[in-house]
Amino acid sequence: MVIDEVPLELVKCGMCGKAIVVEQGERHICSMCVDEEHRLYTSVRALLRDYERSGLSIRDVAEILKVDEYKVTHLVESGYFVLALRGLRPND
């Protein structure tokens, strides 16, 4: 019996920074942070709707929501938000 080998990667969780092993191409988030990621996504989405035309930076969003900036950056890098097109802009 031959089992296909799946390439694994050692990466940092985008939310907590803990080292995790994931299949190549999988999301960089540990099982402990999935719910937090969803809650943060919901909060950022609501904030961007409220401030749609203000051009908030990632830093602005993190400060308003009182979360670490790298967590908001994780959402952007994961494809949840597109900079500039959705109202978020890179930090100045």
* Tens-digit pLDDT profile for residues 3-42: 568 789 999 999 999 999 999 888 899 999 999 999 999 9
Residue 79, CB-side half-sphere exposure with 13 Å CA sphere: 3
User: Are residues 23 and 40 in contact, defined by beta-carbon separation less than 8 angstroms?
Assistant: no
Please indicate, yes or no, if residue 13 is contained in any of the structural domains: no
Give the HSE-up count for residue 87: Cα atoms under 13 Å, Cβ half-sphere.
Answer: 15
Count the domains in the chain.
1
Residue 9 lies in a domain: no
Q: Does 6 reside within a domain?
A: no
pTM value surpassing 0.75: yes
**What is the span of the domain harbouring residue 90?**
32-92
Task: Report phi then psi at 59, rounded to 5.
Answer: -60, -45
Tell which residue, 9, 14, 23, has the closest CA to residue 75.
Answer: 14
Is residue 5, in this structure, part of any structural domain at all?
A: no
